[in-house]
Amino acid sequence: MKKFLIKILIYIFCVGLLITSINEWYKNNGTDSDNTRKFQSVPENIQICNLGSSHGLYGFCYEDFEGQYTCFNFGMSQQRPSYDLKIFQNYRQALQEGAVVFIPISHFSLFGISDESYPGFESKNKRYYKILPKEAVKNYHFDTALYTKYFPVLSAYEDIFRSAIPLQEEESKEWSSMSSYIDLEKNVLMASERYIIAGQLDENGGRIYNQEEINALYQIIELCKESNVRPILVTAPCLSEYTDAVRQIAPDFEKEFYGLLEEIVNRTGVEYYDYSYDERFAHHYELFMDGDHLNKDGAKKFVRILIQDIYE
């Protein structure tokens, strides 16, 4: 009986060791579909960085400035100012005094229902368990942290096998594509409806001003000033087909969007650069992967122009 128990314990130990080893390997070699692995190597003394949603994630490529500036992209898809704030609070110690912080403002950033009210919130929210302390994660649950942050291999399933094959990431392929390869008319219609209509209007059809997100933006600006870094609001370039679609489905939206930004700029004195109608991008399909997201070539060009503009 004693020998049997010893065998069982050895078996449990070996299985546990195997699972732990695979788990550690997976944490460092998984597919990174949520774009969180970059947070494992946030540099010190950052001089230029950006926050933001997918328009920040895909719209800023600093490769041409490697060696000249220390840069980092904190952008995450579908990220609004409330999580921009949490990320900035958690990583601001990595910024050098006098650093530039670009804060992309997308059309959906400051309007609409709360993050928690959107379908799929819990799935999207899991990524923040990996990069933020638990008190900063919305609707934190320990069981979610267990299989998301500490033992992701327990819920990885077939992703483990995909991770073992050295294939190019889908996000990287998409970032290298061009808008001329897609049905652009359909794309801009769907995007404009998603950003301007879905979850953005109250029961009477009025625009929902999201006070949580607006307040978060004010807090980011204030924290930047307290940290002696330079906050700059930015609206990234988009194709003319997208801006035309916005005007078509919501003729009053631009007045509401720019009216709110004007109020924020006047109250805080923050700089704001708007490239949404910039002719250097608006008709250049080779610079976009869809109607409102720059591809890698477009992101490089945008950063070159942006850095030139802010330092001229």
Q: How many residues does the chain have?
A: 312
Sketch the domain layout of the chain as residue ranges: 45-118+167-311
Q: How far apart are the C-alpha atoms of 289 and 42, rounded to whole Å? A: 27
pLDDT grade for 154, boundaries at 50, 70 and 90: low
How far CA 37 is from CA of 42, 89, 102, 178, in Å, comes to 10, 19, 21, 26
Q: How far apart are the C-alpha atoms of 191 and 197, rounded to whole Å? A: 10
Average pLDDT over residues 61-74: 97
Average pLDDT over residues 279-292: 97
pLDDT grade for 17, boundaries at 50, 70 and 90: low
Q: How far apart are the C-alpha atoms of 105 and 270, rounded to whole Å? A: 13
Q: How far apart are the C-alpha atoms of 114 and 73, rounded to whole Å? A: 24
State the pLDDT at residue 172.
Answer: 60
Token pair 């267990």 is found at 146
- Name which of 23-32, 58-67, 245-254, 265-274 the model is least confident about: 23-32
The amino acid at residue 125 is: N
pTM of structure: 0.86
Q: Terminus-to-terminus CA distance in the chain, angstroms?
A: 81
Token pair 């050098």 is found at 96
Q: How far apart are the C-alpha atoms of 104 and 112, rounded to whole Å? A: 17
Answer yes or no: are the C-beta atoms of 141 and 122 closer than 8 Å.
Answer: no
Superfamily of domain 45-118+167-311: SGNH hydrolase (3.40.50.1110)
Copy the structure tokens of residue 105: 């403002």
pLDDT of 99-136, one tens digit each?
999 999 999 999 999 999 998 899 999 999 999 999 99
